[in-house]
Structure 1
Amino acid sequence: MSFPAILQSEWTKIRTVGSTVWTLASALVVTVGLSALLCGFIDSTFEDMPKQQQLTFDPTMASFAGMTLGQAAVIVFGVLVVGTEYSTGMIRTSLAAVPRRAGFLAGKLTAATALALVVGLVTSFVSFFTGQSLLGDHSIAIGEPNVLRAVVGAGLYMAVLALFSMGMTMILRSSMLALGTLLPLFFLISPILSSVDATRTVAEYLPNQAGGAIMQTVQVTLDGNEPPYGPWGGFAIMVAWALAAVIGGFLVLKNRDA
């Protein structure tokens, strides 16, 4: 089967499984909705914020506040794209139709990551302009330095997050195991490590915290210091995590029976 045919097949699988489509749609709604609520709240309480927070306030990042929860839907999307085939046994049919496992995996990852990128970019631009409209005098224009990079970067973050989730699911070969690993990593382990001085440096190199630097225009950490990498450096760390997961997933797919 040719690669375009593989892409077409994978796209058909994605759009015909309602759960995968709805998870991406919910990522958009949750991210935009929560970001809008927070931006409206910030505008009404800005003068009550501590002076240090006012000085380091990042209006662009405020527009992506909902990404903290919206990324959960992106993780679920990536897990379902791969995990559904294992849970239903469809993986055996897929590999019978596409014996070249590298081609099969490349087609699946390309189709799903491209879709996540499109939805991610739509989400980031809608979230940005909605948030800035609610920030009033504290807003920023997209033409200001580093702002467009941050908005595009938010979309790239969602795409790479989906890719990382797919790679991890391919390694674990189970939706439940993948969700049980990824959700605690992003929503439990990462925040805990960030809140402890002794482990904060470790947390800075986790995929969500490193990748999140691409969405910032004010480069400061929780303790008020500059991070050990710039926006693109942090994003490169996240990409490295995703590539490692994909390579691991390919090795499992290649060396184990479906």
Structure 2
Amino acid sequence: MAATQVIRSEWTKIRSVASTVWTLSLAVVVTVALGMLISALTKNQFGDMPTRERLSFDPTFVSFAGMTLGQLALVVFGVLVVSNEYSTGMIRTSLAAVPRRGAFLAGKVAVATGLALVVGMATSFAAFFLGQAMLGPLRTTLGEPGVLRAVIGGGLYMALIAMFSMGVAVMLRSPMLSLGILMPFFFLISNILGNVSATRKAGQFLPDQAGSRIMQVVPRVGDGTPYGPWGGLGIMVLWVIAALIGGYALLRKRDA
């Protein structure tokens, strides 16, 4: 099957599954709504913040406060794109139609990543503009140094979260197992490891901890992170590549 036919086939699969459409919609709503809420609360409480927090105040990053929950919807999207075929048995038909497993995986990842990137960019810009509206006099603009990079980075971050989840789902095949590992990891474990002093140095190299640096414009006072915004995104890209390589290696060896 030609590459264009593989891509067209994968697009049809994604478009026809309602759950994938709902998860992307949820990612937009949760990220934007929570970002607006946190931005409004921050504006009202800014005067009561400690001096240290006011010196580190980052209006751009505040508007992305909803990303913590919004990224979970991208995790679900990435897992469902892959594991739906395993849970329904469609994977046998798909691999019979596209025997070259590398082409099969590449087509699926390309289509899903493209969709996640479009949704991620739209979400990132919407979260920024609406969050800044809530911040009022504390707001910033796209013309300020580093702000446009952070907003574009937010869209890239969401797409990379989906790609990483796809790689893990290919390795594990089971939607329940994949979500049972990824959801607690991104929602709890990573945050704990990244904020506890004993594990902070290791935690800052986890995919979400490193990748989220791209959305920050103002560094926190006393921040000792050994990489910058693009360096953090680069670390996340390495995690994504490792997950996809692991998924491809297992896909080649295993039966459908």
Q: State the TM bucket, normalised to the shorter chain.
A: over 0.9
Q: CA deviation at 1:55?
A: 0.8
Letter of the 1:228 partner, please give it. Answer: P
Which residue of the partner structure matches residue 231 of structure 1?
229
Q: CA deviation at 1:198?
A: 1.3
Which residue of the partner structure matches residue 38 of structure 2?
38
Separation (CA, whole Å) in 2 of partners of 1:184 and 1:207: 14
Deviates further, 175-184 or 109-118:
175-184
2:250 to 237, 244, 252: 252
Give 3-state SS (helix, strand or coil) of 1:197's partner. Answer: coil
**Cα deviation 1:63-116 (Å, max 9, x = unaligned):** 100001111100000000001000000000000000110100000000000000
Which residue of the partner structure matches residue 187 of structure 1?
187
Q: CA deviation at 1:2?
A: 0.6
- 1:1-258 alignment, distance < 5 Å: 1-220=1-220, 224-258=222-256
Q: CA deviation at 1:197?
A: 1.1
What is the Cα-based RMSD across aligned positions, in Å? 0.9
Separation (CA, whole Å) in 2 of partners of 1:67 and 1:191: 13
Unaligned runs of 5+ in 2: none
* Residues 219, 227 of structure 1: 8 Å contact kept: no
Separation (CA, whole Å) in 1 of partners of 2:129 and 2:233: 23
**Cα deviation 1:174-219 (Å, max 9, x = unaligned):** 1111111111111121122123211111110000000000000012
Separation (CA, whole Å) in 1 of partners of 2:126 and 2:70: 14
**Cα deviation 1:156-191 (Å, max 9, x = unaligned):** 000011000000000011111111111111112112
**TM-score normalized by structure 2?**
0.98
* Residues 220, 227 of structure 1: 8 Å contact kept: no
Separation (CA, whole Å) in 2 of partners of 1:184 and 1:66: 17
Separation (CA, whole Å) in 1 of partners of 2:198 and 2:209: 16
Moved over 3 A (4+): none
Letter of the 1:61 partner, please give it. Answer: F
Separation (CA, whole Å) in 1 of partners of 2:203 and 2:220: 14
Separation (CA, whole Å) in 2 of partners of 1:214 and 1:225: 15
Letter of the 2:255 partner, please give it. Answer: D
* Residues 95, 101 of structure 2: 8 Å contact kept: yes
Give 3-state SS (helix, strand or coil) of 2:140's partner. Answer: coil
Deviates further, 99-108 or 191-200:
191-200
Q: CA deviation at 1:122?
A: 0.1
Separation (CA, whole Å) in 2 of partners of 1:246 and 1:229: 24
